[in-house]
Amino acid sequence: MKGKTMFLNSIFSVAVASVGLFADEPKQSAPVKPIEVVELQRKDPVSYDKDVEPIFVKKCNFCHSGNIKEGKLDMSTFEALMKGGKKGASIVPGKSKESLLYQLAGKTQRPSMPPKSEEPLTPQELAIVKLWIDQGAKAPSAARVKPKIIVSLPPAVLHPIRGLAFNKDKTALFAAVGNTILQLDASTGETKKKFVGKNITTKDGKKHEVSHVSLVESLAISPDGKNLASGSFQELRIWNTDTGEEVRKIEGFSDRIVALAFSPDGKLLATAGGPPTEEGEVKLIEVASGKVVQDLKGAHSDTAFGVSFSADGKMLATCGADKFVKIFNVADGKFIKSFEGHTHHVLDVGWKSDGKFLASAGADNAIKVWDFEKGEQARTVNGHSKQVTKISFTSTNPQFATTSGDKTLRLWNADNGSAIKTFPAAEEFLYALAVSQDSKLFAAGGDAGNIYLFDDQGKLLKKLDPLSVPKEAPKAPDKK
Spatial separation of the C-alpha atoms in residues 276 and 255, rounded to whole Å: 9
219 and 179 Cβ atoms separated by less than 8 Å = no
Residue 143: per-residue pLDDT: 61
Q: What is the pLDDT of residues 211-267, one digit of tens each?
A: 999 999 999 999 999 999 999 999 999 999 999 999 999 999 999 999 999 999 999
Backbone dihedral region for residue 394 (phi beyond 0: left; psi -120 to 50: alpha; all else: beta): beta
Q: What is the pLDDT of residues 329-388, one digit of tens each?
A: 999 999 999 999 999 999 999 999 999 999 999 999 999 999 999 999 999 999 999 999
Whether cis (ω within 30° of 0) applies to the bond prior to 276 is: no
299 and 252 Cβ atoms separated by less than 8 Å = no
What is the model's pTM?
Answer: 0.72
Q: What is the pLDDT of residues 108-131, one digit of tens each?
A: 888 877 777 678 889 999 999 999
10-residue mean pLDDT profile of the chain (480 residues): values are: 40 35 41 81 87 86 71 86 89 92 86 76 91 91 69 89 96 97 93 95 89 97 97 97 97 96 98 90 98 94 96 97 96 96 97 95 98 96 97 91 98 96 96 96 96 96 79 46
Spatial separation of the C-alpha atoms in residues 368 and 417, rounded to whole Å: 9
Strands 292-295 and 304-309: unpaired
What backbone torsions phi and psi does residue 89 show, to the nearest 5 degrees?
A: -60, 135
Sequence-distant (6+) residues with CB within 8 A of 375 are 337, 339
Sorted by where each starts, the structural domains of the chain and their CATH numbers stand as 48-134 (no CATH), 161-464 (2.130.10.10)
| Continuous segment of H or E residues that includes residue 4 | helix 2-23
Residue 1: per-residue pLDDT: 44
Residue 27: per-residue pLDDT: 44
Spatial separation of the C-alpha atoms in residues 341 and 349, rounded to whole Å: 13
